Amino acid sequence: MNVLAILVPASLVLGALGLVAVIWSIRSNQFDDLEGDAWRILQDDEGPSPD
């Protein structure tokens, strides 16, 4: 059972990393134009980034 002392915090930290990434992407306007961003990935040249 001692393994829990490592595994539980480890899984929580990994999950938290995901959460931080999601919050960062929300805050940097990446959810503002879902339709456009779906198309942009097909472009060869780099367009200007969202602010």
Kindly state the smallest distance separating residue 42's Cβ from another protein, in Å. Answer: 5
Looking at residue 47, the DSSP 8-state letter turns out to be -
Q: Determine, following the binding rule CB under 8 A, whether residue 6 of this chain makes contact with another protein.
A: no
CA distance 40 to 33: 11
Q: Determine, following the binding rule CB under 8 A, whether residue 10 of this chain makes contact with another protein.
A: no
Q: Can you give the binding site for another protein, defined by CB under 8 A?
A: 1, 4, 8, 11-12, 15-16, 18-20, 22-23, 26-27, 31-36, 39-40, 42-43, 45, 47-48, 50-51
